[in-house]
Every structure is written in C-alpha cells, then in structure tokens.
C-alpha cells in the first residue's frame, strides 16, 4: 500500500517571499468545514476576529475573546492542510504591553497549531511586533482602517484621503514592516496610497478595500459567497449567492414537513424481521 502524500503547509517565510510575485490568495475561515472547502484554493486562511460579527452577531469585533479565537483557530487547523493559517489577536489581549501580547500569542500558537498571529496597529505596536518576532512568533501587521479602533475612528471609514492620513498610514506600514512583520494587511486605504505603500515595502501587502497593486487580497468568505443578504461592502465582489439558496432550501424543507411529504419510508429505518429461533 502506497503512503498518502500530503501537501506541505505554506509557511510565513514562504508568504513573505511572495513579495512582488504571484498574488497571495487569502480568505477568512472560522470553522473546520469552511477551511476544508477553501484550503485547496487559497494560500492563507485568516481566522479573523470578524467572527464576532459573522458568527456571533455582534455589532463590532470588540466583544471577541481570546478563548473564542483559540477555539475557532483550532477548528480551522483541523480542516486546513496546506494553507498558512493566521489567527487574530482580539481587542484587549495585546495592547497593554509586549509581555501581555506574548502571553496571548503563545497561547494561540500552542493551543491551535497555527502559523502565526495578526494584530492591529501602526507605529505604536512596533515594539510589540519586534518583541514577538524575536521570540519566535510570526506576526502579520494590520494598518489603515482598523476595526478594533472603530470607536476612536468614529466608525468604519476609509483612510488616506487627506495628506496627513496618507502619511500616517504609510508611516505605520513601514514601521510595522521594519519591526519584523512578515506581511501587512492594508484595510480601507484609498487606492493610490495603498499602491504606493505596496511599492515601498519589502514585505507583502494584503489588501482589503485597498488596491489591485497589493501583493495579495483578502475578503470575508461569507461576503464572497453571499451568505449575508442585507449588506455588501463596496470592496466585495460576490462570486455566489448561497444565502438565497439556503433560504430556498429551508423553505422547501419546511413545506414538505408540514405537508407530510418528508420524510417518506425511504428516509426511515425499517424493522428487521426476528430470526427464526426454532432452528
């Protein structure tokens, strides 16, 4: 019997080395089954704290806990074999100090088996990123629109429209990269600014609502597949409309149950005749 050969998981150095090469394909995943579906097609799966809104129905990412991220990170790792899996550090788990960030990141790495963590913040997080990277924890940075700072920013708004904003996000991206991040997510950053940042950095940029020039792209999988019917962000392209199909299937199921056309005997276990005990 020949042994089954499994694809080797992409590493963070391999992601970093894709700078200026073939675009890096990234999507979010929060469950084992979604990871299994996406794994053959993507380079990186992000277990994002966006699960707070997508899975739990929160209004923002702020209520997400470290335990939640670890549980979902472990679930994704059970479903992904080749994609590089990165797990978000949630709000409040890393901002206080580099030491706090290390404790949180070490738990995530040890309890999920993921390849690295992502954290939000620019120049103010450089010391923390350097602290983690020097201690063996790969870090993906995240600048521009930062959902964990939604209250300070006054909502989910694009950045880089003014000269001051453009300089700030560019400086943040450069500082994060210099501190040791293997890649930087650019979210909600106006296109010319995101393109210029991508050109200037030595590590890959991963865009979401940023620029086609970024070294990679990421979207929330549920947005891509049409599992949210009430709102589609401007930067999302839907490749399916599964929410409508799920609703239609549920309607058909409910109709058949109420009309007693499901289940039929074909969907039931039949009683087996007793064996002849006289033999």
Angle 220-222-188 (CA atoms, 0-180°, nearest 5)?
A: 30
Q: Residue 141's domain spans which residues?
A: 12-242
67 band by pLDDT with thresholds 50, 70 and 90: very high
In a domain, 62, yes or no: yes
In a domain, 167, yes or no: yes
In a domain? residue 252? no
Residue 212 lies in a domain: yes
Percent of the chain with pLDDT strictly greater than 70: 92
118 is in an annotated binding site: yes
User: Where does the pLDDT of residue 272 fall: very low under 50, low under 70, confident under 90, or very high at 90 and above?
Assistant: confident
Structure tokens at 275: 């064996």
Please classify residue 209 by burial: count the beta carbons closer than 10 Å to its beta carbon, then call 0-12 exposed, 13-18 middle and 19+ buried: buried
Burial of 108 (0-12, 13-18, 19+ CB in 10 A): buried
Helices H, strands E: what count in the chain?
11, 8
67 is in an annotated binding site: no
Q: Is 192 among the domain residues? A: yes
pLDDT band at 278 (very low <50, low <70, confident <90, very high): low
Residue 265 counted as domain residue: no
pLDDT in tens, 5-55: 466 999 999 999 999 999 999 999 999 999 999 999 999 999 999 999 999
**Binding site annotation covers 49?**
yes
Q: Is 259 left (phi over 0), alpha (psi -120 to 50) or beta?
A: alpha
For residues 162-187, give the mean pLDDT: 97
Does the annotation flag 88 for ligand binding? yes
Kindly report the CATH number assigned to the domain that includes residue 98.
3.20.20.60
Is 163 among the annotated ligand-binding positions?
no
In a domain, residue 188? The reply is yes
Return the DSSP state at 154.
Answer: T
For residue 148, being part of any structural domain is answered with: yes
187 is annotated as an active-site residue: yes
What number is the average pLDDT over the span 210-230?
A: 92
Domain total of the chain: 1
Catalytic residue among 99, 163, 187, 222: 187
């Amino acid at each position: 019997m020949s042994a089954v050969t499994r694809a080797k998981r992409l590493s963070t150095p391999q992601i970093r080395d894709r700078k200026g090469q073939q675009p890096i394909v990234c999507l979010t995943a929060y469950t084992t089954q979604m990871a299994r579906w996406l794994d053959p097609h993507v380079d990186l799966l992000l277990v994002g704290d966006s699960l707070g809104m997508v899975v739990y129905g929160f209004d923002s990412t702020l209520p997400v806990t470290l335990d939640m991220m670890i549980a979902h990170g472990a679930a994704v790792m059970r479903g992904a074999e080749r994609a590089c899996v990165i797990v978000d550090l949630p709000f409040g788990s890393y901002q206080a100090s580099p030491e706090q960030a290390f404790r949180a990141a070490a738990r995530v790495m040890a309890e999920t088996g993921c390849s690295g963590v992502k954290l939000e913040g620019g120049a103010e997080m450089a010391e923390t990123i350097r602290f983690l990277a020097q201690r063996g924890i790969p870090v993906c940075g995240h600048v521009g629109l930062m959902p964990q700072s939604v209250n300070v920013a006054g909502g989910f708004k694009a950045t880089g429209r003014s000269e001051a904003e453009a300089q700030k996000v560019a400086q943040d991206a450069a500082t994060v990269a210099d501190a040791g991040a293997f890649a930087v997510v650019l979210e909600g950053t106006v296109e010319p600014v995101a393109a210029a940042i991508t050109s200037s950095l030595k590590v890959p940029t991963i865009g979401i609502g940023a620029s086609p020039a970024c070294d990679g792209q990421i979207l929330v999988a549920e947005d891509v597949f049409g599992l949210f019917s009430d709102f589609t962000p401007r930067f999302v392209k839907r490749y399916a409309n599964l929410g409508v199909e799920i609703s239609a299937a549920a309607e058909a199921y409910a109709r058949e149950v109420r009309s007693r056309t499901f289940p039929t005997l074909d969907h039931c276990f039949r009683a087996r005749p007793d064996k002849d005990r006289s033999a």
